[in-house]
Amino acid sequence: MAKVDPWNVEGNVNYDDLIKDFGVKKISPELKKKLESISKSKGVELHHLIRRDVFFVHRDLDKLLKDFEKGQKFFLYTGRSPSGKIHLGHMFIWYFTKWLQDLFDVELYFQFPDEEKFLFKKNLSYEEVQKNLEDNMKDVAAIGFNPEKTFFIINTRHADILYPEAVKVAKKITFSNVKSAFGLTDSSNIGSIFYTSMQAVPAFLPSVGKEKKLNCLIPHAVDQDPHFRITRDVIEKVGYPKPASIQCKFLPGLRGFEEDSKMSSSKESSSIYMSDTPNEIKKKINKYAFSGGRETLEEHRKYGGNPDIDVCYNWLLFFEEDDKVLEKVYKDYKTGKLLSGELKNILIEKLTKIVIKHQEDRKKLKDLKKYLRKEKFFKKG
Amino acid sequence: MAKVDPWNVEGNVNYDDLIKDFGVKKISPELKKKLESISKSKGVELHHLIRRDVFFVHRDLDKLLKDFEKGQKFFLYTGRSPSGKIHLGHMFIWYFTKWLQDLFDVELYFQFPDEEKFLFKKNLSYEEVQKNLEDNMKDVAAIGFNPEKTFFIINTRHADILYPEAVKVAKKITFSNVKSAFGLTDSSNIGSIFYTSMQAVPAFLPSVGKEKKLNCLIPHAVDQDPHFRITRDVIEKVGYPKPASIQCKFLPGLRGFEEDSKMSSSKESSSIYMSDTPNEIKKKINKYAFSGGRETLEEHRKYGGNPDIDVCYNWLLFFEEDDKVLEKVYKDYKTGKLLSGELKNILIEKLTKIVIKHQEDRKKLKDLKKYLRKEKFFKKG
């Protein structure tokens, strides 16, 4: 049985089990249609990550869309806990978030909880997290979120805004609540016990002091659900609507589902970082990518490969937007027409383009000021 | 057996038991002499609250004074958790703190943990605490601490400074640690569990980012010792010296030691508030003050009263600075020369003067800006 919580994803994740355990809802065909019709009305296609069930479950997304049609506004909230370099397994969620922001033309609150990993990882120093923070913020800024409508929240630096709200949430959460949700014990440090309150705040921060409360939609990977489950349990008691969420599966690591069900910053051989060179990308994929191909060329040509367990195919599922290209790869690989090396090359080309464009966009950034304007947008506590 | 922790003082407190339970040290005759000689060298008398053993125990005060003689600077740290009106039971500690500040000419960091009582009292609202905060800050400012060397710290508003440091402390404290120290349970809210980290920060805040770390002296009532015991246990692990403390007994409530071992904001009949009118002071003392006098005038004249259990005498011990006046009261009351009504009048006159002067000083305050200059004095986290 796989273990999935906000700090650990171990084993081959069975998403059907997770749906039951966490109590999240599958995105139904009706909801998908709804999202498609909204997209089409804005002249864009439904996002491939929804089409392909990478974003596969949700909480109250149907309700949020109904409210939206009635004129009830919402904002987006997502985040990044800075603990290492940014890799593709982070990026796809934010690319998707940008798509949502553009589609609905809404505000995005992007949290950098720079105390979280410090509190949860024994040997991680505060200074190291701060260094990662500066680096990670640049990667997020390079994505090109609407600068008029995007606000970075840094937990330690903006604690004068977050902490007064966090204590209101914290008063409604007992140790028992977090114990069961996060597997904390009496030996857990008291910062880690308090932490979830800080993660809850952006889910209602834009509504603080406002008479009309806004809805909130959180795009996130399914392992973060325990946080927002707790947030949803208490948020109405502090006067705000429950945040909705749209949740995705993990991008598997290079070594494949069995060994590497979620790409991890700390495993070099698992990840393609946004700072990798074209040569590194090529070498890592060629060396580590778990293949669904046959042992020999002859067998592969004869029996075909298995794209479903092949990491290259599965990554294309995340990053190749064109369904026709993807389908052709699937078919050709399965029938043995496409060889593993050829499939790797298709992926290498695709990812190299994405990473190089990202690096160029990152270089063009002057500073992060446009995203760090707390005085202008947050009411002081 | 009395119960004493930062949120409860119940029963007739046996201070000898507390010394054993908490592991604090009595102020020895040698230490008292040391303090006296320092005072005399500055041309002032040893403070009457030390002379009379109201400040009666300490941690590492001897070490701090030795360091000070060798040129090692220290600062003062005390605070007020705003939960109601300020009464005399709060003020005497701060009058004493001002005496210390003037004597040693040192900085004072005065914390207003405006989330504490909100987190620990089920029915206290955040808004009510904020109202109390504004009121309480004026009372503290009216004491006349050196404006050049005194800094107010408000936990919620200055959380951008406190929280980054608090998480470093919090990482070193487990739930087990706070459970035993504060009597917390699995049903305690996670804000209350985290709270002690915020109270720890001012004990080292002036040293943050500085190469030479300062010593810290905390004057406080003995019930706060559990917080600083925890602070002392972990503070060296985050790179700062253990804070020293000088700790006092409680001003008993009007109804006397048995019923009212600590003056409480929430009991009108227990307290003289700094906002009371002369008439209120007179009425409350005449009506409620527990008397050590005899049943009848005749008996009192014949056998004398018992000043040791008499609230009026015990309050004079806190507020009448002149030893000779106090001794005369003691003797005259014990021999029956001084009647209970006369003793009450002496106290009424003394306290009325103190309260009226305080109210005048409070009225003269323009604003609190001189004490709220965080940008100038704290390094940003």
Q: Residues A168, A122: contact at Cβ < 8 Å? A: no
- B249 and B281: one domain? no
Q: A376 lies in a domain?
A: no
Interatomic CA distance for residues B308 and B319, integer angstroms: 16
Q: How many CB atoms lie within 10 A of CB B361?
A: 15
Provide the shortest C-alpha distance from residue B112 to chain A (in Å).
13
Task: Measure CB to CB from residue A171 to each of B179, B189, B197 and give the nearest one.
Answer: B189
- The structural domain count of chain B equals 2
Whether B381 shows a pLDDT value over 50: the answer reads no
Domain that holds residue A288: 268-364
Q: B369 lies in a domain?
A: no
- A222 and A105: one domain? yes
Q: Which of B76, B36, B31, B1 is nearest to B243 (CA)?
A: B76
Interface check for A153 against chain B (CB to CB < 8 A): the answer is: no
Q: What is the CATH number of the domain that holds A317?
A: 1.10.240.10
Whether B2 shows a pLDDT value over 70: the answer reads no
- B75 and B142: one domain? yes
Interatomic CA distance for residues A368 and B8, integer angstroms: 48
- B114 and B186: one domain? yes
Residue B223's Cβ-count burial label (10 Å; 0-12, 13-18, 19+) is buried
Q: How confident is the model at residue B258 (pLDDT cuts 50, 70, 90)?
A: confident
Q: What is the pLDDT of residue A376?
A: 59
ipTM entry: 0.93
Residue of A nearest to B122 (CA): A171
Interface check for A119 against chain B (CB to CB < 8 A): the answer is: yes
DSSP string, A26-87: E--HHHHHHHHHHHHHTT-PPPHHHHTTSEEEEESHHHHHHHHHTT--EEEEEE---SS--B
Provide the shortest C-alpha distance from residue A241 to chain B (in Å).
20
Q: What does the pLDDT look like over A108-131, one tens digit per residue? A: 999 999 999 999 999 999 999 999
Structure tokens at A117: 């990993």
Q: Which of B63, B52, B51 is nearest to B25 (CA)?
A: B63
Q: How confident is the model at residue B376 (pLDDT cuts 50, 70, 90)?
A: low
Helix (H, G, I), strand (E, B) or coil at A247: strand
Residue of A nearest to B157 (CA): A160
Size of chain B, expressed as the number of residues it contains = 381
Q: Which of B122, B130, B167 to mutate to test the interface with A (most CBs of A within 10 A)?
A: B167
Structure tokens at A145: 């979120």
Q: A195 lies in a domain?
A: yes
Percent of chain B at pLDDT exceeding 70: 97
Q: Which of B190, B192, B208, B379 to mutate to test the interface with A (most CBs of A within 10 A)?
A: B190
CB pairs under 8 A between A and B: 139
Q: What is the mean pLDDT of residues B273-287?
A: 97
Percent of chain A at pLDDT exceeding 90: 86
Task: Measure CB to CB from residue B126 to each of A168, A187, A190 and give the nearest one.
Answer: A168
Does the beta-carbon distance from B171 to A157 stay under 8 Å?
Answer: no
Q: What is the mean pLDDT of residues A204-213?
A: 94
Q: Residues A336, A301: contact at Cβ < 8 Å? A: yes
Whether A1 shows a pLDDT value over 70: the answer reads no
Whether B380 shows a pLDDT value over 50: the answer reads no
Give Cα separations from A192 to A80, A158, A195 (angstroms): 17, 18, 5
Does the beta-carbon distance from B188 to A175 stay under 8 Å?
Answer: yes
Does the beta-carbon distance from A162 to B164 stay under 8 Å?
Answer: no
Interface check for B172 against chain A (CB to CB < 8 A): the answer is: yes
Q: Which of A125-139, B250-264, B275-289 has the lowest mean pLDDT?
A: B250-264
Q: Which of A230, A141, A146, A233 is nearest to A182 (CA)?
A: A230
Interface check for B81 against chain A (CB to CB < 8 A): the answer is: no
Q: Which chain A residues are closer than 8 Å to B166 by Cβ?
A: 191
Q: What is the pLDDT of residue B82?
A: 95
Q: Which chain A residues are closer than 8 Å to B189 by Cβ?
A: 170-175
Helix (H, G, I), strand (E, B) or coil at A123: coil
Q: What is the pLDDT of residue A275?
A: 97
DSSP string, A192-232: HHHHHHHHHGGGTGGGTT-SSPPEEEEEEEGGGHHHHHHHH
Residue of B nearest to A122 (CA): B171
Whether A378 shows a pLDDT value over 90: the answer reads no
- A290 and A225: one domain? no
Encoded amino acid at B127, one letter: E
Task: Measure CB to CB from residue B189 to each of A174, A179, A187 and give the nearest one.
Answer: A174
Mean pLDDT of chain B: 94
Q: What is the CATH number of the domain that holds B136?
A: 3.40.50.620
Q: What is the pLDDT of residue B267?
A: 77
Does the beta-carbon distance from B119 to A163 stay under 8 Å?
Answer: no
Q: A261 lies in a domain?
A: no
Whether B300 shows a pLDDT value over 50: the answer reads yes
Provide the shortest C-alpha distance from residue B343 to chain A (in Å).
47
Q: What is the pLDDT of residue A375?
A: 60
Structure tokens at A18: 């997770």
3-state secondary structure B319-343: HCCCHHHHHHHHHHHHCCCCCHHHH
Q: How confident is the model at residue A204 (pLDDT cuts 50, 70, 90)?
A: very high
pTM, full prediction: 0.93
Q: What is the mean pLDDT of residues B53-73?
A: 97
- A77 and A34: one domain? yes
- A14 and A127: one domain? yes
Does the beta-carbon distance from A160 to B155 stay under 8 Å?
Answer: no
- B196 and B107: one domain? yes
Greatest Cα pair distance in chain A = 69
Q: Which chain A residues are closer than 8 Å to B118 by Cβ?
A: 167, 171
Q: What does the pLDDT look like over A21-73, one tens digit per residue? A: 899 999 999 999 999 999 999 999 999 999 999 999 999 999 999 999 999 99
- A193 and A293: one domain? no
Whether A320 shows a pLDDT value over 90: the answer reads yes
**Domain end call among B193, B223, B254:** B254
Q: How confident is the model at residue B378 (pLDDT cuts 50, 70, 90)?
A: low
- B30 and B161: one domain? yes
Which of left, alpha, beta for B126 (phi over 0: left; psi -120 to 50: alpha)? alpha
Beta strands in chain A (DSSP E): 3-5, 8-10, 25-26, 55-59, 74-79, 108-112, 150-154, 215-221, 244-248
Q: A44 lies in a domain?
A: yes
Q: Which of A80-84, A87-91, B52-56, B338-342 has the lowest mean pLDDT?
A: A80-84
- A73 and A117: one domain? yes
Q: What is the pLDDT of residue A371?
A: 93
Q: Which of A120, A185, A190, A230 to mutate to test the interface with B (most CBs of B within 10 A)?
A: A190
Q: What does the pLDDT look like over A62-83, one tens digit per residue? A: 999 999 999 999 999 999 999 8
Interface check for B279 against chain A (CB to CB < 8 A): the answer is: no
- A53 and A23: one domain? yes
Provide the shortest C-alpha distance from residue B183 to chain A (in Å).
13
Interface check for B191 against chain A (CB to CB < 8 A): the answer is: yes
Does the beta-carbon distance from A115 to B189 stay under 8 Å?
Answer: no
Whether B1 shows a pLDDT value over 60: the answer reads no
Q: B357 lies in a domain?
A: yes
Structure tokens at B131: 């109202």
Q: A356 lies in a domain?
A: yes
Whether A286 shows a pLDDT value over 60: the answer reads yes
Q: B262 lies in a domain?
A: no
Task: Measure CB to CB from residue B170 to each of A119, A156, A162 and give the nearest one.
Answer: A119
Does the beta-carbon distance from B167 to A193 stay under 8 Å?
Answer: no
Interface check for A164 against chain B (CB to CB < 8 A): the answer is: yes
Q: What is the pLDDT of residue B6?
A: 74
Q: What is the pLDDT of residue B257?
A: 84
Q: What does the pLDDT look like over B133-180, one tens digit per residue? A: 999 999 999 999 999 999 999 999 999 999 999 999 999 999 999 998
Interatomic CA distance for residues A149 and A101, integer angstroms: 9
Does the beta-carbon distance from B194 to A170 stay under 8 Å?
Answer: yes
Q: Which of A253-262, B135-144, B247-256, B290-299 has the lowest mean pLDDT?
A: A253-262
Provide the shortest C-alpha distance from residue A135 to chain B (in Å).
18
Q: What is the pLDDT of residue A377?
A: 58
Q: How confident is the model at residue B8 (pLDDT cuts 50, 70, 90)?
A: confident
Interface check for A104 against chain B (CB to CB < 8 A): the answer is: no
Q: What is the pLDDT of residue A381?
A: 39
Provide the shortest C-alpha distance from residue A151 to chain B (in Å).
17
Q: What is the pLDDT of residue A380?
A: 46
Mean pLDDT of chain A: 94
Q: What does the pLDDT look like over B229-250, one tens digit per residue? A: 999 999 999 999 999 999 999 9
Task: Measure CB to CB from residue A159 to each of B160, B179, B188 and give the nearest one.
Answer: B160
Q: What is the mean pLDDT of residues A286-298?
A: 95
Size of chain A, expressed as the number of residues it contains = 381
Return the H-helix or E-strand segment holding B76.
strand B74-79
Q: Which chain A residues are closer than 8 Å to B115 by Cβ?
A: 163-164, 167
DSSP string, B200-241: HGGGTGGGTT-SSPPEEEEEEEGGGHHHHHHHHHHHGGGT-P
